[in-house]
Each structure stands twice: as C-alpha cells, then as structure tokens.
Structure 1
C-alpha cells in the first residue's frame, strides 16, 4: 500500500509520551495535555494520492471529536488567514468512532463528561450536559462525518461552517447527529436544500466517500484528531497534532513556507 507519512515538525509540536491518557471503554483515548483523540481502526485500502505542486492546509477532524470542537475558533482564524494569503484550505473527515458498538453505560458517560470538562478548561468552548441524562445514545461519529461530506457535495464553500454548526448542535444543544432531522436547521441556515441533503445523506455514494476520507487520513499516517497539515507539493507537515492556537499553527506555516 502506498503510504505517505506526515513529517513531524518537532520544534513546533510538543507531544509527550508521559501525558496522562484517559482510556475510553473501547480502547480509544483522548489526551488532556496534547488535546489529541485517537481513532478506532477502519478497513484499510490504498486510495490514489495525486498532489499537485501547490500548497494547502488540510484539517483532519471529526465533528464528534471534542478536541475538534475545542480547536474550532482557532481553525476559523487559520482558514481566514489561509484565504487571505492564497492558500487552499480543506477538510478530511477523520472517523473517530465510526460504529455503534459502544455501550452507553455509566463508565462511558463518566469518561465523556470529564473529558468535555477538560476541553472547556483549556479552550473555553461551551458544552451542554443534557446528553448524559439520556437513557440511550449511540456515540457513532460516522453519520456526522457523512453529513459533512454530503454538504461538501452540495456546496463546498459551506463545508467548514456546516462542520462547525454540526459540532454546536451536538456539543451545546446535545441533539443526535444520527437523526436526519438534526441537520434541517443547519441546512436552512446555510441555504442547502434539505430534501436533497437527506437523499445524499442516506446514499451509498456518500457513505463510500466518507469511508474514503477515513481511509485517506490513516493512509497519510494520521493517528489522532484534530490534526492540521501544511502540504507543499507532495510533502505533508503536521503543524498541529491535538489542540493548538492560531499563532502556533500560522507561525509553523510561515516557517515551513520559507524553508521550502
């Protein structure tokens, strides 16, 4: 399998093996020091990788990854800075927990609640906690990722905002992203035809494109979310693995652009 590994810019990233890791029941973990969530495995395949000689910033994240919600304001600034400097910005969906096998028990709810509190403490991002009053919930991140891919297909320029609104409706309003109706107010706000969105959201084609995003980021060597990549030609540099602020990420882009 062709595999392009990220070039880790160690002078710009701080990832410590000694950080205390919160272990989720399914074996995935989120690290409160680095702000990085490790994904569950997916079936691998060799997706074609064809990069031109341009540069771009690639955000690899998952709408139901809480550190991805934590970093959201910083990414908004990064996307605006990229656009102002003629650098493309795109999203690759991560696939943090793309199944519904996790049992919604007291252990898992406790893990999530404490983890959300850690994200708020570091990032200031708000969370609602009504979710933990639900008797049943499936923490499957595939539907929310698939919804973003459907929005990308309909209106690419709205993808980032759709991603962020999906996060807000889940983390703050505690609605269920597995329900098609969850996305109706988001589509309305962004001028997307909800009927067409619903058709795409349920389609095999969008499910396949979503899985391709999951496979692609793993093929690149991404091991957790959020990961932010600066690409110059066929070289991929991880400018953030886990939570990072705008100044740190943009500084890394500028330093790497000069080196190239």
Structure 2
C-alpha cells in the first residue's frame, strides 16, 4: 500500500478522484473565516482535533467564522486489508499519539476484512451539518472517537445512532439525509472543491480574509502555531491594504 500518512509532516495525502464534479467557483465573501479541511478517518485530523476546537472558540469572540470542509482522504477505499496495512496503521497511530496525546484503540486490527473507505464518514458530517448547527466540530470529533478509540465501522448508518443521541439529533432525519443522493452529491462537491483549491493533504487550515485564501497550516499543528499564523496573516494583509489606500 502507499503510506498515505507521513509521521514527519503530520499530513495525510488523499487519493485522486475518478470523477471530478463540475461545481463552479465557490463563492467567497468579505467576512473573515477559518476553514478546516479534514477527514474523520484521517489520523492526523484526530490528532489535531482538540487544538482546532480551541482555535475555533478563541476566534468566536473576535467575530471570525469557522467552517468545516470534508476532504475525502480515501473515498471508496480499496487498499488491501492485510498485515502490511495493519502494521502500518499501528505504527502510524503511535506517531500521532506521541505528537498529540490522542488515544487509539486497536481492535480494528482484529477484523478479517475492512475497507478503509472514508466517504461515508465525510457524508455523515454533511448529513449532520444543518441538524447540529454550531457543534459541527464536536460531531466530527465524536465520529473520530468512535472509529479511532472504539474501533467501530463508520460506513453503516447505525454507527451514528449514539452520536446523534448525544447531540439530540433526530436519528431518522439524519438517516434520511445520510442515504440521500443530495448529500452524496454535496459530499463529492466538497471533495472536488478542496482539490481545486490546491489542498494536497489533511489536516489543512485556510484563512479566508479580504476575499482571499491563505494557508494557515498544512499538516499537524498546535493551537499556538495556528493562532500565530492567523494573526500574522491578518496583520500582513491589513498592512498592505493600508499602504495601498
């Protein structure tokens, strides 16, 4: 298999898409917004999760928005589930724990068969988006926890029953959205859009400011590192705007 997660850079590299959806240019706005591009089955995204929530909360009082975009690490999966794959994951997850302190469970390795298809977990985030509102990151994190710590399979809709209960989401409504063609299409649109933006790995943090996109972090980073880069980028943009006026 291709080692799609790098312990040195803290980046998980996505597979290519067989079909790119034609969706046009995403409409940017004049507001300032932090955009997180990640995948619930990206281990470095699990590692960075607490720092991302801290970053979101830090900027809420500063009227800076926060948006989640699902990346699509391995839509469709297809990697062989063999000893080589299992040993790679065990070693790699150890690197993530060492860097971030995030826990992992390893019962997944006991399964005889498993397809590392990340599309359903990404689709679940979009299915829950209008139902969970401003707790989208917390929902995202619970999906990660149930997969990485509890070793359960996020491809089946039943996986999300307890998570929906935790967030007081009507599971029937969630299930309808999860299985709908509309949400499947929207999920693939986000896969396509982040690639069109040039995102080449997850987690990636982008700052939308003054109708422009700026890279804040590409790969695992701490709150302090991301916060410093946000402040630096905004200051530089505003300085250039002031000089041009």
Cα deviation for residue 46 of structure 1 reads: 4.1
Structure 1 regions of 5+ residues with no counterpart? 1-24
- Provide Cα deviations, 1:23-57, integer angstroms capped at 9, x if missing partner: xx1x3521111100100011224432211111100
Q: 2:115 aligns with which of 138, 142, 167?
A: 138
2:95 matched to 1:106? no
Within 5 A, what are the aligned runs for 1:62-211? 62-211=39-188
Q: Hey, what's the Cα distance between the residues in 2 that align with 1:100 and 1:122?
A: 26
- Provide Cα deviations, 1:154-213, integer angstroms capped at 9, x if missing partner: 232221111000000000000100111110000000010001111110111000000011
RMSD: 1.1
Cα deviation for residue 136 of structure 1 reads: 1.1
Q: 1:39 aligns with which of 2, 5, 14?
A: 14
Instruction: Between 36-45 and 167-176, report the one with greater CA deviation.
Output: 36-45
Q: Hey, what's the Cα distance between the residues in 2 that align with 1:53 and 1:46?
A: 24
Q: TM-score scaled to structure 2, two decimals? A: 0.93
Structure 2 regions of 5+ residues with no counterpart? 238-245
Q: TM-score scaled to structure 1, two decimals? A: 0.88
Q: Hey, what's the Cα distance between the residues in 1 that align with 2:211 and 2:5?
A: 30
Moved over 3 A (4+): none
Q: How many residues align?
A: 235
Point out the structure with the larger helix share. 2
Q: Hey, what's the Cα distance between the residues in 1 that align with 2:226 and 2:40?
A: 20
Q: Hey, what's the Cα distance between the residues in 1 that align with 2:215 and 2:22?
A: 21
Q: 1:253 aligns with which of 224, 230, 238?
A: 230
